[in-house]
Amino acid sequence: MKLSTLGEFGLIERLSGVLGSQTDEPLLHGIGDDAAAWRQSPDRLMTATSDSLVEGVHFDLRTTSWRDLGWKALAENLSDIAAMGCEPRYALIGLGLPRETAVADVEALYAGIRECAEAFGCAVVGGDTTEAPLLVLHVTVLGESIPVVGEGEPLLTRAAARPGDVLAVTGPLGASAAGLKLLQSGDASEAPGELLRAHRRPQPRVHAGAILVRAGVRCGIDISDGLLADVGHICERSGVDAEVDLARVPVHPLARTRFGKAAVEMALVGGEDYELVCAGSESALSDASVQLRARGESALTILGSIVKCSGDRPEVRVLQPDGRLWTRTEATGYQHFAKHGLGQAWPGAKGELA
Amino acid sequence: MKLSTLGEFGLIERLSGVLGSQTDEPLLHGIGDDAAAWRQSPDRLMTATSDSLVEGVHFDLRTTSWRDLGWKALAENLSDIAAMGCEPRYALIGLGLPRETAVADVEALYAGIRECAEAFGCAVVGGDTTEAPLLVLHVTVLGESIPVVGEGEPLLTRAAARPGDVLAVTGPLGASAAGLKLLQSGDASEAPGELLRAHRRPQPRVHAGAILVRAGVRCGIDISDGLLADVGHICERSGVDAEVDLARVPVHPLARTRFGKAAVEMALVGGEDYELVCAGSESALSDASVQLRARGESALTILGSIVKCSGDRPEVRVLQPDGRLWTRTEATGYQHFAKHGLGQAWPGAKGELA
């Protein structure tokens, strides 16, 4: 069987099978969440995440500068650490580069990485450079949890949603997809800078994750594949359904102004927003909102709720104001190796084993 | 300027400049050694290393099976952890795969990774899979030091060699290069299995590193680029010269039988031996040898000594029994992006930023 038949998520399941069970103390979470996590010392957990970006698959140097690419490559890994409720500490950068690459371009890439690392308090401590026929980036980030106090793990995981939980998101959605659309249109000169920046220089919510955990929230994920796909990952790993109230989805106002109704779809399935979606009790979410505002960050927006799984398998339902279900004809989210495959710049998807 | 003009080591220097100084507590070693290292808790240091392998640059699926490739990709990162005097704990695997890849091949790759992880006590905790036009592997390994007792760091680094130190190696050299030569010859059916295994399934010295540190040795590196190139890295980082006594270099006996005098060159510049070279006091090296033998591992072989830098820049001199200097017409070691570049399968070199 070829990968194109099996698809990305099928492959991940198979490979997890080959590896077998490897979860024992001090390892807490292996394959299947935004990052792996283990107990580093009695009062501290560590997390690690890793992502590859391949030219022509994940980015297009016609719409992304080397400097922005550096920023974004690190930012999306920082977001995975935030999605575990942890704060980033160290990053390792692997670069595959064609021989004819201009040195100035690689320096620009590294300048972008450095800017992002400094903005979010992470040190680039190593990596490697190697020759490759096309540009390949591989970023690994290590993060640390808030201190462990008493029982339980101070982490956000995909598997911790329970029926009765409220579903919330840390900020507006759809700006990155709108920015990409404008860049792909070929003339972005008149486009709102904020939308372009959302696509080129996403801001991972590195503090929000730890704030959620401190407030008692234990379920979360970052929005890389798209709101519905990522809430879907929570549902699958938690064995629950989610109901999203379409009217509550915080569509980015500039995206709405520019794209009207199409902005709603950008917010639901566009991806690369790098906000966090979380599920927890109303009181925990409200505590977190207070703390977020105190830090000058946007408060949580409630999207809907987690309910018992009603069918054969977990699903996400989007309810329109008139009570009808919102549906999209195309499949939501991006799967690598699938037939639709290549050619989508920054598809906003990663086949994460962790 | 193109990378092909600047070369790999020039690029690494430039990129280190772009990042600037990032070494402050708890970070102990950033870019420039086999792995980064930081203080994880008062009594424990952690290390992290990361390497990319690109099809056609680092491996050739005509001479390497998917399963062996999996083993080797992990083994060479475990070796970097051993070269820091640490023991491996966790690995993350990034895979870029063409859509038409057979699922069975990817499973075989993972089976090899698992075998190596189990053999050396490392858990594969995550990673990602993504589409790519050619096979790209990226492995990150995290390791842990022996407990910190008193002052100083219980690590092996490249920068700790001092004039008067003795230079030693943990095992025989040249077997991997001999194995590769036999595989490339097209008919390896009559070749000694041990040489082929040395190339396909290298055995990182994961215990030897910690034993060296316990014995008081503080300078070490693993042999990936080749003995002379790697001793050269020690000299450069320590600001010293090294004198290697050619008669003492432990050329693998099967390589010598098969290739005669050419085996000496394989031992000096072949690379991918994944033994450790270290420098320290005679008594520390002798203590380490006793402990290695007690574990059933091969004792250290003394190669020569570290002396004061005699010229403009640090260098490695190989002394023949008649007192003349051994020289090789070609440059030793492998640099990515250099003109000789592509086409060399498993060149045994990595442009390590850490």
**Alpha carbon distance B169, B222 (integer Å):** 9
Cross-chain CB nearest to A57 (options B1, B130, B337): B130
Answer left, alpha or beta for residue A176, where phi above 0 means left and psi between -120 and 50 means alpha.
alpha
**Is the pLDDT higher at A249 or at B126?**
A249
Answer left, alpha or beta for residue A56, where phi above 0 means left and psi between -120 and 50 means alpha.
left
Cα separation of the two ends of chain A: 24
Please tell me the predicted confidence (pLDDT) of residue B125. 85
B151: in domain: no
Cross-chain CB nearest to B94 (options A52, A99, A128): A52
| CB A173, CB A267: distance < 8 Å | yes
Give yes or no: residues A116 and A234 share one domain: no
**Alpha carbon distance B72, B68 (integer Å):** 6
Minimum CA–CA partner of B26 in chain A: A89
Please tell me the predicted confidence (pLDDT) of residue B33. 67
The residue to which tokens 């991997």 are assigned: B176
From B144, B179, B197, give the residue that closes a domain. B144
| pLDDT category of residue A335 using cuts at 50, 70 and 90 | low
User: Using a CB-CB distance cutoff of 8 angstroms, which residues of chain A are in contact with residue B132?
Assistant: 52, 54, 57, 136
> Are β-strands B351-352 and A123-131 bridged in parallel, bridged antiparallel, or unpaired?
antiparallel
Give yes or no: residues A207 and A81 share one domain: no
Please tell me the predicted confidence (pLDDT) of residue A32. 63
Confidence check: pLDDT of B41 > 60:
yes
- Spatial neighbors of B16 by CB under 8 A, at least 6 apart, are B31, B32, B353
**Alpha carbon distance A161, A56 (integer Å):** 36
From B144, B167, B192, give the residue that closes a domain. B144
- Convert the pLDDT of each residue in B194-209 to its tens digit: 999 999 999 999 999 9
- Convert the pLDDT of each residue in A59-69 to its tens digit: 888 878 999 99
The residue to which tokens 């102004």 are assigned: A257
B150: in domain: no
Amino acid at B226: G
Do A19 and B114 lie within an 8 Å CB cutoff? Answer: yes
Please tell me the predicted confidence (pLDDT) of residue A89. 92
**Alpha carbon distance B67, B76 (integer Å):** 15
For residue B174, the domain's CATH number is 3.90.650.10
**Alpha carbon distance B87, B77 (integer Å):** 11
**Is the pLDDT higher at A344 or at B34?**
B34
A354: in domain: no
Cross-chain CB nearest to A56 (options B12, B128, B133): B133
Residue of B271, B277, B330 whose CA lies nearest to B302 = B277
Which range marks the domain in which residue A27 is found?
A: 23-144
| CB A169, CB A301: distance < 8 Å | yes
Cross-chain CB nearest to A48 (options B57, B114, B142): B142
A308: in domain: yes
How many percent of chain B have pLDDT more than 70?
90
Give yes or no: residues A206 and A256 share one domain: yes
Give yes or no: residues B124 and B8 share one domain: yes
Our CA-based measurement puts residue B277 at a distance from the nearest CA of chain A, in whole angstroms, of 21
The half-sphere exposure of B198 on its side-chain side, counting CA atoms within 13 A, is 31
Mean pLDDT over residues A17-26, rounded? 66
- Convert the pLDDT of each residue in A178-187 to its tens digit: 999 998 887 7
Q: What is the DSSP letter of B152?
A: S
- Convert the pLDDT of each residue in A229-265 to its tens digit: 999 999 999 999 999 999 999 999 999 999 999 999 9
Q: Which of A74-83, A119-128, A343-352, B41-50 has the lowest mean pLDDT?
A: A343-352
B196: in domain: yes
- What is the DSSP track for A93-120? EEEEE-TT-BHHHHHHHHHHHHHHHHHT
Do B354 and A126 lie within an 8 Å CB cutoff? Answer: yes
Nearest-10 crossing angle of helices B66-83, B206-214: 10
Give yes or no: residues B174 and B114 share one domain: no
The torsion angles phi and psi of B9, rounded to 5 degrees, stand at -70, -30
User: Using a CB-CB distance cutoff of 8 angstroms, which residues of chain B are in contact with residue A134?
Assistant: 133
Please tell me the predicted confidence (pLDDT) of residue B350. 37
| pLDDT category of residue B31 using cuts at 50, 70 and 90 | low
pTM: 0.85
Confidence check: pLDDT of A330 > 60:
no
SS3 B157: strand
Give yes or no: residues B170 and B94 share one domain: no
The residue to which tokens 């399963």 are assigned: B67
- Convert the pLDDT of each residue in A188-243 to its tens digit: 788 889 999 999 999 999 999 999 999 999 999 999 999 999 999 999 999 999 99
* Residue-averaged pLDDT of chain B: 87
A51: in domain: yes
| CB B139, CB B50: distance < 8 Å | yes
**Alpha carbon distance B85, B100 (integer Å):** 41
| pLDDT category of residue B141 using cuts at 50, 70 and 90 | very high
SS3 B252: coil
- Burial of A8 by CB count in 10 Å (0-12 exposed, 13-18 middle, 19+ buried)? buried
Q: Which of A86-100, A275-289, A330-344, B53-67 has the lowest mean pLDDT?
A: A330-344
Please tell me the predicted confidence (pLDDT) of residue A35. 76
Give yes or no: residues B186 and B106 share one domain: no
- Convert the pLDDT of each residue in B314-332 to its tens digit: 999 999 999 899 887 544 4
A261: in domain: yes
The residue to which tokens 């998917």 are assigned: B66
**ipTM attached to this prediction:** 0.81
Mean pLDDT over residues B56-77, rounded? 92
SS3 A230: helix
Confidence check: pLDDT of A127 > 80:
no
Q: How many other C-beta atoms can be found within 10 angstroms of the C-beta atom of residue B146? A: 18
Total domain count, chain B: 2
Please tell me the predicted confidence (pLDDT) of residue B7. 80
H/E stretch holding A125 reads strand A123-131
| pLDDT category of residue A343 using cuts at 50, 70 and 90 | very low
B41: in domain: yes
User: What torsion, rounded to 10 degrees, do the Cα atoms A69, A72, A73, A79 define?
Assistant: 180
- Convert the pLDDT of each residue in A34-51 to its tens digit: 678 888 888 889 999 988
Nearest-10 crossing angle of helices B175-184, B262-269: 110
Pair of tokens at residue B264: 């000496």
Please tell me the predicted confidence (pLDDT) of residue B3. 84
Give yes or no: residues A313 and A190 share one domain: yes
Do B1 and A57 lie within an 8 Å CB cutoff? Answer: no
Please tell me the predicted confidence (pLDDT) of residue B335. 54
Confidence check: pLDDT of A136 > 60:
yes
Cross-chain CB nearest to A96 (options B38, B48, B54): B54
- Please work out, in degrees rounded to the nearest 5, the angle formed at the alpha carbon of residue B263 by the alpha carbons of B70 and B186: 55
Give yes or no: residues A135 and A221 share one domain: no
Beta strand extents in A283-337 (DSSP E only) = 301-308, 316-319
- Spatial neighbors of A342 by CB under 8 A, at least 6 apart, are A56, A57, B99, B131
- Convert the pLDDT of each residue in A292-308 to its tens digit: 999 999 999 999 999 99
H/E stretch holding A351 reads strand A351-352
Please tell me the predicted confidence (pLDDT) of residue B264. 95
User: Using a CB-CB distance cutoff of 8 angstroms, which residues of chain A are in contact with residue B110?
Assistant: 15, 18-19
Our CA-based measurement puts residue B193 at a distance from the nearest CA of chain A, in whole angstroms, of 27
Please tell me the predicted confidence (pLDDT) of residue B21. 64
The torsion angles phi and psi of B336, rounded to 5 degrees, stand at -70, 155
Give yes or no: residues B179 and B314 share one domain: yes
| pLDDT category of residue B16 using cuts at 50, 70 and 90 | confident
Residues making up chain B, counted from first to last: 354
- Convert the pLDDT of each residue in B235-288 to its tens digit: 999 999 999 999 999 999 999 999 999 999 999 999 999 999 999 999 999 999
- Convert the pLDDT of each residue in A270-280 to its tens digit: 999 999 999 99
Pair of tokens at residue B135: 């096979």
From A98, A118, A144, give the residue that closes a domain. A144
- Please work out, in degrees rounded to the nearest 5, the angle formed at the alpha carbon of residue B294 by the alpha carbons of B292 and B298: 40
Our CA-based measurement puts residue B325 at a distance from the nearest CA of chain A, in whole angstroms, of 32
Mean pLDDT over residues B149-157, rounded? 87
Our CA-based measurement puts residue B17 at a distance from the nearest CA of chain A, in whole angstroms, of 9
Give yes or no: residues B166 and B139 share one domain: no
Please tell me the predicted confidence (pLDDT) of residue A160. 95
- Convert the pLDDT of each residue in A306-323 to its tens digit: 999 999 999 999 999 998
Dihedral sign (CA A21, A26, A29, A34): negative
For residue A133, the domain's CATH number is 3.30.1330.10
Give yes or no: residues A247 and A140 share one domain: no
Please tell me the predicted confidence (pLDDT) of residue A33. 67
Alpha helices in chain B (DSSP H): 3-6, 8-19, 66-83, 103-119, 175-184, 193-200, 206-214, 227-238, 253-259, 262-269, 282-294
